[in-house]
Amino acid sequence: MSGFMLTENLLLGVSSAATSIEGGALQTSWAAWRRHGQFDGDDGTVGAGHRDHWGEDIFLMRRMGIQTYRFGLEWARIEPQEGIFDEDAFTHYRAEIRSMKDAGIRPLLTFQRFTNPLWFERLGGFERAENLDFFLRFVRRSVEALGDLVSEYITFDSPNLYARCAYFDGFWSPGVRNASRMYTVLTNLASCHVRAYESIHKARRAMGFDDTKVSIAVHMHAYRPLVRGNPLHRALSAAAEFAAQGAFLQAALLGRSIPPLKYDPFLRPGIYCDFHAVNYGGRTTVAAAQREAERETYTDEMGQDIAPLCLIRCCRTLYDLAQLPIYVTECGVCSSEDPLRAHFIYEHLRRICECELPIERFYYRSFCDGAECLAGNSARYGLVHIDFETMARSIKPSGDFYSEIIRARGVSEELYARFCAAPAAVQESF
């Protein structure tokens, strides 16, 4: 182990998703999917109770020294019926944002992560190009309501993961298994991002602001061939990476419509991000067509193959597309063993601080435990423990470790020894 200091411009934050933590019996695609038996656990009506405990949560963030918070709006809460906007929802989000800013926490606002209002889903969601105007209207109204408080935005959070799980694997609503329909959705999401990027800038310029920053957080894996010397493995690995993320990056960030994505008139060459945003999903080893190799390193409780160096590889892929600042907008581990979480944070931050790339933000996923996709509240990612019976909050030792890193601007030998006693086998696999 060796200590390290954080780079000068690196801010440490946390992320969360509205559907995961807010709770509430909302008419969303996720809630309907869960209620129809598509997963075992919290149907999202409980979450982490953040809607009722947001003041306490921001107090804990302030206590931890969190510098920036990536959070999401719940579209179904703001527009519960098509064309009907709930001004009380905007009032609530304004109060929450003001509170975090008063605590010295910089907001990074996300508009969509995996879930849609049920009325939008029933109209065909993002599979129908004519529906994109509904999302763009929601974005515009949100910026008009909150744009004086927020300067940084994420249009879509892991849109390529959403398209794959909902329209190819069929795991998520609407449960489709069709590659062509998946790429239709990906094309529409890229087009919608380009239009939203321009709309957000335009709306804030009209409000008198010139500090707007907008991006899209793409779910990224580092793909590698099982046998580097095998031309077939190398070719399949490269093809898998391009199909899963490469083509979408070209479209959303640079406006280039490249097959397997489809033609769209709004995709025209340009740069449609002010910073790169990477949601890091670990490493995928490809052995043959349609098959992944057996994992040979440590995986977390959700099966994510942990490989800290590969985070830097993903960041370099983005930087090669456009030389912009990089935000690691999501990087976390699902584990009931908290020393592993602390070790995970240490290893990824160390790699970031050793590299030459302009990585300016690191958002640990997530601030607190919540309802995680199909796993419900059994998947523990948070730095803050949630007792789902009482909604009591308590900072985990890994949260204290993260707080100490922020305070000290680095990790010392003593700090590592106090918090990161992960098993030797785990340390070696990292």
Spatial CB neighbours of 142, under 8 Å, sequence gap ≥ 6: 73, 78, 90, 109, 111
For residue 204, the model assigns a pLDDT of 98
Query: Which tokens in the block code for residue 259?
Result: 């097959």
Find the CATH number of the domain harbouring 160.
3.20.20.80
240, 242, 243, 244: CA torsion to nearest 10: 80
Q: Which residues of the chain have pLDDT under 50?
A: 38, 40, 290-296
**Using CA atoms, how far apart are residues 114 and 341, in angstroms rounded to an integer?**
25
**Using CA atoms, how far apart are residues 423 and 263, in angstroms rounded to an integer?**
50
**Using CA atoms, how far apart are residues 326 and 277, in angstroms rounded to an integer?**
6
The residue range of the domain holding 43 is 4-429
**342 near 395, Cβ under 8 Å?**
no
**Using CA atoms, how far apart are residues 430 and 426, in angstroms rounded to an integer?**
6
Spatial CB neighbours of 429, under 8 Å, sequence gap ≥ 6: 297, 298, 306
350, 273, 370, 359: CA torsion to nearest 10: 10
Residue written as token pair 């390290």: 4
pTM of the model: 0.94
Q: How many domains does the chain have?
A: 1
Classify the phi-psi angles of 65: left when phi > 0, otherwise alpha if psi is within -120 to 50, otherwise beta.
left
**Using CA atoms, how far apart are residues 389 and 151, in angstroms rounded to an integer?**
36
For residue 293, the model assigns a pLDDT of 42
For residue 151, the model assigns a pLDDT of 98
For residue 36, the model assigns a pLDDT of 65
Is-cis flag, bond preceding 159, omega within 30?
no
For residue 198, the model assigns a pLDDT of 98
For residue 307, the model assigns a pLDDT of 87
**Using CA atoms, how far apart are residues 261 and 422, in angstroms rounded to an integer?**
43
3-class SS letters over the chain: CCCEECCCCCEEEEECCHHHHCCCCCCEHHHHHHHHHHCCCCCCCCCCCHHHHHHHHHHHHHHHCCCEEEEECCHHHHCCECCECCHHHHHHHHHHHHHHHHCCCEEEEEEECCCCEHHHHHCCHHHCHHHHHHHHHHHHHHHHHHCCCCCEEEEEECHHHHHHHHHCCCCCCCCCCCHHHHHHHHHHHHHHHHHHHHHHHHHHHHCCCCCCEEEEEEEEEEEEECCCCCHHHHHHHHHHHHHHHHHHHHHHHHCCCCCCCCCCCCCCCCCCCCCEEEEEEEEEEEEECCEECCCCCCECCCCCECCHHHHHHHHHHHHHHCCCCEEEEEECCCCCCHHHHHHHHHHHHHHHHHCCCCEEEEEEECCECCCEHHHECCCCCCCEEECCCCCCEEECHHHHHHHHHHHHCEECHHHHHHHCCCCHHHHHHC
**Using CA atoms, how far apart are residues 301 and 386, in angstroms rounded to an integer?**
18
For residue 384, list its beta bridge partners.
Answer: 368, 395
For residue 424, the model assigns a pLDDT of 61
- Amino acid found at 75: W
